[in-house]
Amino acid sequence: MKTVLLAVALGLCACSLHAQANVEITFRVNMNVQIGLGRFNPGIDFPVVRGTLNGWGCTDPMLESDDEDGVYELQVRVANHVIGVGEYKFNINCGQGGVGRWEDAISNRRYTVTGTEPDENDDGFGELVLETVFFDDAVAGADAELFFQVDMNVQIASGRFDPVSDQVVVRGALNGWGCSEALADGDADGIYEIYIRVSGHQVGTGQYKFNINCADSGWEDSISNRRYRFTGNEPDSNRDGYVEVELPLVYFDDIESGPDIEILFRVDMTRPIDEKIFIPESMTVHVGGGFNGWSCSAELEEFDESVYELAVRIPSHPVGVSEYKFNISCEEFSWEPELSNRTYVVTNDLPDEDGDGFLELTPGVAFYNALENPFIDAELVFEVDMSVYEREGLFDPANDTVVVRGEFNGWDCTEGMTPAGDGIHRVSVELPGMTVGRGEYKFNIGCLDVGWEDSIPNRRYLVIGDEIDSDGDGFVEVQVGPFYFDERRPPPGIGPFVRGDCGQAGNMDISSGIFLLGFLFTGGNDPGCLAACDADGDGRLDITTAVFIFNFLFLGGAPPSAPFPGCGFSESGEDLELGCADNPGCG
């Protein structure tokens, strides 16, 4: 019976000798919306066509039309094109330089070759001219009124934002990353709001951030750019000609209210006393930081010889790293000028030993304007996860390299990071005598100007000075990462796989159906990714699944659903139940 079933299924392939035709296809894509959104730079970027006509490889770069700005076109000759439907998508840069991008908001585009296309220039190739389309079907925009809202209560409680003297604004692609008018807190509840009208808002994804006082130091600096999706089909409920987009209420910098804490600050003033910088009889010691808006605290009191202390209670202190310094007599130039900002870390599991509702935090005794060891030999161990970029074809570990560039090396490039398995790349950088404190950096592909992580602000690392030298080489180790490159994370679900690719070759072809039939009826190998074998997406693997594959390949049948024709992920219940333990075809 098994042999009969296999023969019957393979018999479906007898139709593979389909009629064919030579055809010259003209593709045209309008990139103006992508240019307006900052996703396509005509000076350095180029679109290509990828589809069944070239095995989903890349055509030559499309060229801008002489007749229409922002419209790119390309004529592709295909000898012996099978009569029927072809699929394709436009793609930016074909993945080169780590900045390639598919049309990811739409299904595969389609065209039909009939064999009757006219051959007006008598060159043996019938001409098929496709309609001009917008990249990703993102068409010209609409007039929009966007409602932004942000909760500033944590920033107010921490002292970073003063409702009396400070302002919060919106900066984003909608205003060229300039500054909006100040948001208003009409209810005095710490929630600031603004309506912003944008004429001709481009359809697609918009990016923005909130900012304090329109200042470089006022950014939401611990998060990536915020995003919203604009379709142009939003309602215009008040019929004023502007469609309304209400963005969700968020906390500034995504920092929600933290615990009530009591911090005991202590500083040793022996050195400034000896150097006559601090005279106890006529001067005072204070502390300031993010917790009080860098104002002067109450006076610290001497509790031991030349050692001063002050307990500061802070309700709803944000969880995480905060900065501070000591100061003499509240003078502007006496904020420990030789030091980077000091830091402490607030967590939700600090003790409350006296049961008063305030968690206790006691940083070590500091030395005014000095560290016991302000310089340290450190080994920074950077790790970055490139798995998503590999799966999307934006990074080829066989040919591409990823490096680290930052303040520690003058924004030059480290040596190429070494693959460490599962998409993780690692490099260790030894820095003798580095200054304790924060440093900025980013990962970069190929040490190229186009290879930056361009959707996030500079990353930061922190060297505290009490790290451990575990291998005894004289350098303390500071682990940095792993982080996803450009914070592009894998989508939810299982994968990656190509639906229909039962043989794990990276695409669906005749061997996929044969492999499935062998597995089902002749004791063939386990596919490893059962979800990939489920070409028709019904959650079952049987003879009809193989028939579906052959139907599509040779009879013009319906194509598989996503992920297809490229590698991707699936969240469907059927695929989750089938599973995908291993799929070499998608790397």
Residue 340: CB partners within 8 Å, gap ≥ 6?
435, 436, 437, 438
Structure tokens at 248: 């969700």
Nearest-5° angle of CA 52, CA 48, CA 444? 115
The predicted-structure confidence for 170-210, as pLDDT tens digits, reads as follows: 998 888 889 999 999 999 999 999 999 998 787 767 889 99
Helix axes 543-555, 510-521, angle to 10 degrees: 170
CA distance 502 to 505: 8
CA 93 to centroid of chain Cα atoms: 19
- Split the chain (587 residues) into runs of 10 and give each run's mean pLDDT: 39 50 94 76 90 89 85 94 89 66 79 92 94 81 91 82 95 89 93 93 82 91 83 85 93 85 95 91 94 90 94 86 92 88 88 94 89 80 93 89 94 95 94 84 93 89 80 92 89 83 87 91 88 91 91 87 85 83 77
DSSP one-letter code for 295: -
CB atoms within 10 A of CB 18: 11
The predicted-structure confidence for 212-248, as pLDDT tens digits, reads as follows: 999 988 998 878 889 888 877 788 899 888 999 999 9
Cα–Cα nearest to 309, from 262, 357, 361, 365: 365
* 319-353 exposure pattern, b = at least 16 Cβ within 10 A, e = fewer: beebbbbbbbebeeebbbeebbebbbebeeebeee
Predicted local confidence at residue 256, as pLDDT = 78
Cα–Cα nearest to 22, from 127, 164, 157, 152: 127
* 143-162 exposure pattern, b = at least 16 Cβ within 10 A, e = fewer: ebbbebebbbbbbbbbbbbe
Residue 321: CB partners within 8 Å, gap ≥ 6?
343, 344, 345, 462
Alpha-carbon distances, residue 142 vs 36, 200, 232, 233, 247 (angstroms): 13, 5, 5, 8, 17
CA distance 559 to 56: 15
Cα–Cα nearest to 99, from 568, 581, 572, 488: 488
CA distance 342 to 364: 11
Predicted local confidence at residue 100, as pLDDT = 57
Helix and strand numbers, DSSP H then E, in the chain = 9, 33
Question: What H or E segment, with its residue span, contains residue 534?
Answer: none
Mean pLDDT rounded to a whole number for the chain: 87
> What is the Cα Rg of the chain in Å?
31
CA distance 553 to 538: 19
The predicted-structure confidence for 487-510, as pLDDT tens digits, reads as follows: 888 766 788 889 999 988 888 889
Predicted local confidence at residue 468, as pLDDT = 84
DSSP secondary structure string for all residues of 207-233: EEEEEETT-GGGB--SSPPEEEEE-S-
The predicted-structure confidence for 330-371, as pLDDT tens digits, reads as follows: 998 899 988 888 888 888 889 999 999 999 999 988 999 877
Predicted local confidence at residue 424, as pLDDT = 95
Structure tokens at 412: 């030059």
Structural domains present in the chain: 19-137 (2.60.40.10), 142-254 (2.60.40.10), 261-367 (2.60.40.10), 375-487 (2.60.40.10), 494-586 (1.10.1330.10)
